[in-house]
Structure 1
């Protein structure tokens, strides 16, 4: 497999001969207003794409949208992606919205979804703790399985909680992609809405042999964990060899 970090949660996964675009946020730097009540009052996204949109979407076989928040599914993605492309979503509500956006080949992921011989298993997640869980709505991740590939678990916008432990125990992934920016809103006291460094440490303890790839970092105005801070943390904890923290545009073959 090959994992290419684009920006934020937007990545391209090449798996068993197919190319998946995950959670596309494709607008140029500063295209959208800042998320309110956030540490930084800067327009989103904070950085330009590391490559052209044409290069990002070239030869994409399918798109997976874990949920419909703007930093995972933005207006630019809706405009530039072919309306006939295969689009996987988490539930009927998201399917209805993406069909309203004009997409013609929308499918809801389940535990038994198969695309071109690749098993796609929808996974659970919680977008924060306390009041955030209800406020931010349903989210999902996905496990990729194929006889010729290592099992890949993309956790999506979730914190560490029993559901993530259950997915790891069930699927025993060799590679885990985690959204790692510790993003949060300053007016609430429920903590980050995606994984922070301690959550990532829990992922490692649950799957000590797995390669962990940390994405969704330093890209939107409510981020709370830098790549440098995370690198120093995992080094201090002694599991840096198992962790990859890609820069925008960086790719790994695993």
Structure 2
């Protein structure tokens, strides 16, 4: 599959970051930011669609009892038609089934026989009930199209938030995924989690060269300043903890409960002096490694 670059300067910056890779690593590997946490990740001839939210702008009410819940989601349109997003996709990975990671539009548009990877049996059963016939559990490691997939852990909020039973049930369980393939850079999609021991363990075990952070610092009502996903300080921490890795910040500017914008994160990154390895792509941008 061929993904056209939509931002040449971003591609150039990424190529410079990845310039230390050996000659046998210069094979096709691309990350395309679609919108929110939705990504297309291509290793050679295999393309994964991650956490598809494909609805038109304003299709859904804001998430109840969260920051700016009066706004309708998604806040912005897709950068291309939804049909173009799913074109060429070989498999789909859903880190959890919240609406901004697995929405009605994606369920309607995706072929019912496409391979789907889910984090546990409850999510898998939900997907089967939606008509999907090839649902697979990623409960450890798996292989697809020459790419090794490894599930990683996390928690979608702080211990204080999870101590509230209603919030613990609503936030539920989440996963991240590490992608490995011979001759390619290892990519870690961290998922909707705070920085926890599971993140440190994944960084230590897999030594990823590309780290995708959900960095919008989303918040629920009553816990202002206690986000349920990572934010700007976590971007800095990733930069410091993985000194050889490129950091890609996503899950920004597209749903109501984000408290950190791309512009604010760019300012923070400049002030921290970490622009050399932190990318904040616009929707539709393609990064090549």
**TM tier, shorter chain?**
over 0.9
Matched, 1:25 2:35: no
TM-score in terms of structure 2 length:
0.85
**1:232 is matched with which residue: 240, 247, 267?**
267
After alignment, is 47-56 or 126-135 more displaced?
A: 126-135
Give 1:222 shift. 0.5
Q: Give the number of equivalent residue pairs.
A: 254
Provide the rounded CA distance (Å) in 2 between the counterparts of 1:16 and 1:179.
25
Q: Secondary structure at the match of 1:5?
A: strand
Q: In the alignment, is residue 210 of structure 1 matched against residue 238 of structure 2? A: no
Distance in 2 separating the partners of 1:27 and 1:252: 24
Gap regions ≥5 residues in structure 1 = none
SS of 1:13's partner is: strand
Deviation at residue 132 of structure 1 after TM alignment: 3.1
* 1:187 maps onto 2:225 in alignment: no
**Larger-gyration structure (1/2):** 2
Please give the secondary structure, in 2, of the residue aligned with 1:42.
Answer: coil
Q: How many Å separate the matches in 1 of 2:80 and 2:119?
A: 28
Of 92, 114, 120, the residue aligned with 1:91 is 120
RMSD: 1.2
Deviation at 1:116, TM superposition (A): 1.7
Task: Tell me, in whole angstroms, the C-alpha distance in 1 between the residues paired with 2:208 and 2:140.
Answer: 16
Give the TM-score normalised by structure 1: 0.97
Question: Unaligned stretches of 5+ in structure 2?
Answer: 1-28, 163-167
Aligned to 1:127: 156
Q: CA deviation at 1:190?
A: 6.6
Aligned to 1:72: 101
- CA contact 2:67–2:218 (8 Å) conserved in 1: no
The answer on whether the counterparts of 1:131 and 1:190 sit within 8 Å (CA) in structure 2 is no
Deviation (angstroms), 1:188 = 2.5
Separation of aligned partners in 2, 1:186 and 1:195? 17
